Amino acid sequence: MVPENVAYELYSLDQQYALGLVHDGIIAHVDKLLHRAIERGASDIHVQPHEHVLVIRERIDGRLYDAEHVDQELAPLIISRLKILARMDIAKRRLPQDGRINVIFHPTAHVDRAIDIRVSSFPTLHGEKLVLRILDQGTRLINFEALGLSEPMQKTMHQLLQRPHGLFLVTGPTGCGKTTMLYAILTMLNSRSKNMVTIEDPIEYVLPGVSQSQINVTAGFTFDIGLRALLRQDPDIIMLGEIRDKETANIAMEAALTGHLVFSTLHTNDALSAVIRLIEMGVEPFLISATLIGVLAQRLVRRLCPCCKQENTAPASLQPAIHTSHYGPLKNVYKQTGCASCSQVGFKGQIGIFQLLPIDQQLAALIGIQDHAALHALCEKQGVQSLAHDGLSKVEQGITTLDEVFSVAQ
């Protein structure tokens, strides 16, 4: 068992030989599995038992790829080793569990990175399936300007973020980079003159100078309880991991009404749907109109590999979708091919596509009277661009492909 609060040192096979730390068997196999995934920049590792084989898959740039097939007889040993590293009960196989591995990753002899791996187990027909979420402190937190927002969006965002109080929401499905966006915003706003506090589930990255807390439902520490207590801590800026229910939403808006700048997330398809979702939760429309200052909807698409992308033509089947996006004819379209630099995939990394909805007085008035048709009409009149429109601009710049954009944005 790995002692509590002690990080697991992860070396490559060559480094292990050089240091005289060579392991055999299952320990070496698991070390190689972890090292390979981190080196490739995977966000998740799936350890999935089937009837005759254990399949190891890695999620890279939002897509799952088979990394390894292992004999079924080794599956219990590999799963037990990972559970031991994550301080989980290896005897408990019929109930889901959660664990955590603190890793010091040594990509070279003179460099090391702190990596947090969240492990969850789930009982299946052929044994326990493990999913390992890799949270790399050294690579995932990026500059706000590098997230992919267009210059006009960045300018509007900077104006919104200078507000002394209000509620700003980031929306989208799971895995679209909402938390990364919130962390980038907090990093940009971070100042010794401000008291910045977060309530998260879980804490994914450590932000220097920010007081971060993690909810614990078992202990009775929930989002709404934490947020009520937080308001007595004299905060200037609050980041709430997610608005999940009416009570949490009301407290967040109460905080925004009483002079705090509040950031949070919702699961909605586009920016305007966030307003409708809050009303469906039971939040009073006048509260929304009085506190909401802006909504940013986002998705992630894969970046074309700059070394091997090739010019292409827009297929006829996608012309109706392009027309519906009100973008106009595309001057440049590119496609992926594959090379050694991108491991023959054709893509390397991810970038966001966005829809930004600043809430002005006209929109706030329509929110207050719940006139959804008029809201849509006003957004169109004000030129609020769709996710697809922003994606098509990135297609034209040679950043991504049409298929990538229309796979996440209608």
Closest CA to 355 of 188, 170, 166: 170
Within 8 A by CB and 6+ apart from 245, the residues are 224, 281
Other Cβ atoms closer than 10 A to 105: 23
Cα–Cα distances in Å, from 264 out to 44, 225, 233, 408?
Answer: 24, 16, 18, 22
Give the three-class secondary structure for 244: coil
Local confidence band at 20 (pLDDT 50, 70, 90 cut-offs)? low
Tell me the pLDDT tens digit for each residue of 99-127. Answer: 999 998 887 766 788 899 999 999 999 99
**Residue that the structure tokens 């919104």 belong to:** 160
- What pLDDT, on the 0 to 100 scale, is given for residue 119? 96
Q: What are phi and psi of 171, to 5 degrees?
A: -125, 160
Task: Give the integer Cα–Cα distance in Å for 351 and 224.
Answer: 32
- What pLDDT, on the 0 to 100 scale, is given for residue 144? 87
**In DSSP terms, which residues pair with 278 in a beta bridge?**
none
Burial of 73 per CB tally in 10 Å (0-12, 13-18, 19+): exposed
The two beta strands, 44-49 and 53-60, are: antiparallel
Mean pLDDT over residues 28-46, rounded? 93
- What pLDDT, on the 0 to 100 scale, is given for residue 172? 95
Local confidence band at 10 (pLDDT 50, 70, 90 cut-offs)? confident
- What pLDDT, on the 0 to 100 scale, is given for residue 81? 95
- What pLDDT, on the 0 to 100 scale, is given for residue 332? 86
- What pLDDT, on the 0 to 100 scale, is given for residue 3? 55
Local confidence band at 251 (pLDDT 50, 70, 90 cut-offs)? very high
Cα–Cα distances in Å, from 272 out to 7, 111, 126, 296?
Answer: 44, 45, 43, 9
Q: What percent of the chain stands above pLDDT 70?
A: 94
- What pLDDT, on the 0 to 100 scale, is given for residue 335? 92
Report whether pLDDT(290) > 80.
yes
Tell me the pLDDT tens digit for each residue of 70-106. Answer: 999 999 999 999 999 999 999 999 999 999 999 988 8
Task: Give the integer Cα–Cα distance in Å for 66 and 358.
Answer: 42
Mean pLDDT over residues 363-370, rounded? 90
Token reading at 377: 């009409």
Q: What percent of the chain stands above pLDDT 90?
A: 72
Higher pLDDT among residues 182 and 109, named by residue: 182
Cα torsion 81, 82, 88, 94: sign? negative
- What pLDDT, on the 0 to 100 scale, is given for residue 246? 93
Torsion, Cα 32 37 39 41, to 10 degrees, reads 180
The two beta strands, 111-124 and 127-136, are: antiparallel
Other Cβ atoms closer than 10 A to 403: 14
Find out whether 130 and 110 touch, Cβ atoms under 8 Å: no
Local confidence band at 4 (pLDDT 50, 70, 90 cut-offs)? low
Task: Give the integer Cα–Cα distance in Å for 101 and 98.
Answer: 11
Other Cβ atoms closer than 10 A to 143: 9
Tell me the pLDDT tens digit for each residue of 262-272. Answer: 999 999 999 99
Report whether pLDDT(11) > 80.
no
- What pLDDT, on the 0 to 100 scale, is given for residue 383? 86
- What pLDDT, on the 0 to 100 scale, is given for residue 24? 66
Report whether pLDDT(410) > 90.
no
Q: Which amino acid is at 156?
A: T
Report whether pLDDT(316) > 90.
no
- What pLDDT, on the 0 to 100 scale, is given for residue 323? 75
- What pLDDT, on the 0 to 100 scale, is given for residue 36? 93
Local confidence band at 6 (pLDDT 50, 70, 90 cut-offs)? confident
Angle at 23 between CA 18 and CA 28, to 5 degrees: 110
Find out whether 353 and 148 touch, Cβ atoms under 8 Å: yes
- Mean pLDDT of all residues belonging to the chain: 90
Tell me the pLDDT tens digit for each residue of 192-215. Answer: 999 999 999 888 888 889 999 999
Mean pLDDT over residues 24-28, rounded? 84
Higher pLDDT among residues 10 and 36, named by residue: 36
- What pLDDT, on the 0 to 100 scale, is given for residue 369? 87
- What pLDDT, on the 0 to 100 scale, is given for residue 1? 52
